[in-house]
Structure 1
Amino acid sequence: MITRVRHVTLACVLSAAVLTGCGTDREPSAARPAPSAPVPSRPPTLAPGPAALTPVFRNGPRTRGKVVALTFDADMTAGQGPRAAAGERFDNPELIATLRALEVPSTVFMTGRWAEEYPVQARSIGRDPLFEVANHSYSHYAFTEDCYGLPTVSADRMRSDVERAYAAFRKAGVRDPMPYFRFPGGCHDRKALKALAPAGVTAVQWDVVGGDAFATDADAVARQVLQGVRPGSVVVLHCTRSAAPATERAVRRVVPELRERGYRFVKVSELIGTADGRP
């Protein structure tokens, strides 16, 4: 989705972690403790909405403790291959390394095109129990008209676009991608929800916008997140270095401050699992 600690100890941990970021095929360390509750063999999903439409999840319950889900959109459109070939970076290994160093369970909403461009990183993220990979479409084309200037995908191709992304994940070696889908730009309508119903996914939105897209002020991004988080929040951020260059620095501030407030970081699957099947 694109829309408009201690210092010495943390620096040492992060500098070491960057060496094992998502830009390598090294498997995650077996010594890391389990970051959150185990994901069941069949991931939790929401019941279909009225008229059997795709259900939409925005946040977890507000009354079940201080938990928050950080989500990161790994965006790349179907037409951005030449820009990547010319050197533009749509990945962010430093961000993934920081999440690993800080042991922050997270959900990465990945486009199929991103997984094709960075298969080693997609595989590394998808096989690390700290993370879960969810679907952000194959092409990052919009599922409605007039969505932040994105190209659009027709209704008869919406389901196949989502399924093509899952195929790209499997080819890259991602294990068990989740049955969660995030609309590019967050843009959706009844037609899109109907088109995706046969895919059996739960659409995942958010209630906190990080504001990191095209931002260069990490402190401003961190403040926006910290001001918006409530128990059960879903925060949307990005894992695209060229379009969200301040995200990793913002995360370094957000994570310890929220932990000091008593928050525990969880994956989206854990929040959905506490929603009792209701959007």
Structure 2
Amino acid sequence: MIPHVRRVTALCALTAALAACGSTRTAQAPRPAPSATSAAPSPAPPRAPTVAPGPGGLTPVFAHGPRTRGKTVALTFDADMTADQGPRAAAGERFDNPPLIATLRRLRVPATVFMTGRWAEEYPDQARSIGRDPGFEVANHSYSHYAFTDDCYGLPTVPRERMRSDVERAYAAFRKAGVPDPKPYFRFPGGCYDRAALRELAAAGVTAVQWDVVSGDAFATDADAVARQVLEGVRPGSVVVLHCTRSAAPVTERAVRTIVPGLRREGFRFVKVSELIGAANGQR
């Protein structure tokens, strides 16, 4: 859950070294030419845009899109579930929110869902449905939803040497659930990161995605207050952070029913994070 923004200034960069392979290679027989009846392979999905790294070897961080390229806004939803919450789910606590996803579909609002690997394991059918819906894109919110810094709203902490593997484990959980094209975007649990965390994730090749509008939906009980906070905070290119967990964000779906028409009346167009990053890269 993200009760407020934690701002950390960091150089956003990435350096990578490729190790050379040995020079000895085993000869292989040539592959037979495909027959005329062979099915053509499915085309690979287009590569998602990422933020260009700079000097320093740190993972790049993206907080919002261009302010001068039209009134676009990205609604993002964190599908939170920590690695140790299995017993709570087994006892009936709901960390999913099917009514919210249904409302986004009904209103035809594209969105980016930052999903934990543990959430995908608990709700594989929903993860697969979201991941295969062209109206959504799935991004990484870690496997465990443990913090990547100390003192992050009481979350347990991922050891530094396991940070990259925690992110990669989430991608493995998405693939196992049937998500075909998870994006190379990562949101730190709690929004908490520091220079060390950015350095540890550099080799994972992800862009860290933060936000510039906090919805305040975590543990909120007043949907109108959540909607008002979003409507007052959005600017062109904004990234709004909301949640996709019924137990910890019970009024989000109701708030969305106010947020969406309100922003549309102001002339905003809803996009996914990938479109905002593409616009920042000069892509239309």
Same fold per superposition (TM over 0.5): yes
- The two structures have a TM-score, normalised by structure 2, of 0.84
Match of 2:75 in 1: 70
* Aligned equivalents of 1:105, 1:151: Cα separation in 2: 32
* Aligned equivalents of 1:45, 1:149: Cα separation in 2: 31
| Matched position secondary structure for 1:79 | coil
* Residue of structure 2 aligned with 1:85, choices 90, 108, 112: 90
- 1:126 pairs with 2:131: yes
* Aligned equivalents of 1:161, 1:59: Cα separation in 2: 25
Match of 1:3 in 2: 3
Residue 175 of structure 1: CA displacement?
1.0
- 1:160 pairs with 2:165: yes
* Aligned equivalents of 2:99, 2:243: Cα separation in 1: 12
Q: Deviations over 1:107-150 (max 9, x none)?
A: 00000000000000000000000000000000000000000000
* Aligned equivalents of 1:224, 1:159: Cα separation in 2: 34
Off by >2 Å, runs of 4+ in structure 1: 1-4
| Contact 2:73/2:234 (8 A) holds in 1 | yes
- 1:196 pairs with 2:201: yes
Q: Within 5 Å, which residues of 2 pair with 1:235-254?
A: 235-254=240-259
| Matched position secondary structure for 1:255 | helix
| Matched position secondary structure for 2:112 | strand
Amino acid at match of 2:251: A
Match of 2:222 in 1: 217
* Aligned equivalents of 2:87, 2:55: Cα separation in 1: 42
Residue 55 of structure 1: CA displacement?
0.1
| Structure 1 residues not aligned, in runs of 5+ | 5-38
* Aligned equivalents of 1:212, 1:206: Cα separation in 2: 14
| Contact 2:45/2:181 (8 A) holds in 1 | no
| Structure 2 residues not aligned, in runs of 5+ | 5-43
Match of 2:16 in 1: none
CA gap 1:40/1:174 in 2 versus in 1, 3 angstroms = closer
* Aligned equivalents of 1:134, 1:193: Cα separation in 2: 17
Amino acid at match of 1:2: I
* Residue of structure 2 aligned with 1:171, choices 149, 171, 176: 176
Match of 1:19 in 2: none
Residue 276 of structure 1: CA displacement?
1.8
Amino acid at match of 2:206: V
* Aligned equivalents of 1:40, 1:208: Cα separation in 2: 30
- 1:268 pairs with 2:273: yes
| Contact 2:72/2:238 (8 A) holds in 1 | yes
- The two structures have a TM-score, normalised by structure 1, of 0.86
User: Which of 1 and 2 has greater Rg?
Assistant: 2
Q: Within 5 Å, which residues of 2 pair with 1:19-30?
A: none
Q: Which protein is richer in helix relative to its size?
A: 1
Alignment size in residue pairs: 243
Amino acid at match of 1:3: P
* Residue of structure 2 aligned with 1:205, choices 187, 210, 213: 210
Match of 1:20 in 2: none
Amino acid at match of 2:73: V
* Aligned equivalents of 1:163, 1:183: Cα separation in 2: 14
* Aligned equivalents of 2:159, 2:211: Cα separation in 1: 24
- Name the Cα RMSD after superposition: 1.2
Residue 225 of structure 1: CA displacement?
0.2
Match of 1:9 in 2: none
Match of 2:58 in 1: 53
Amino acid at match of 1:78: A
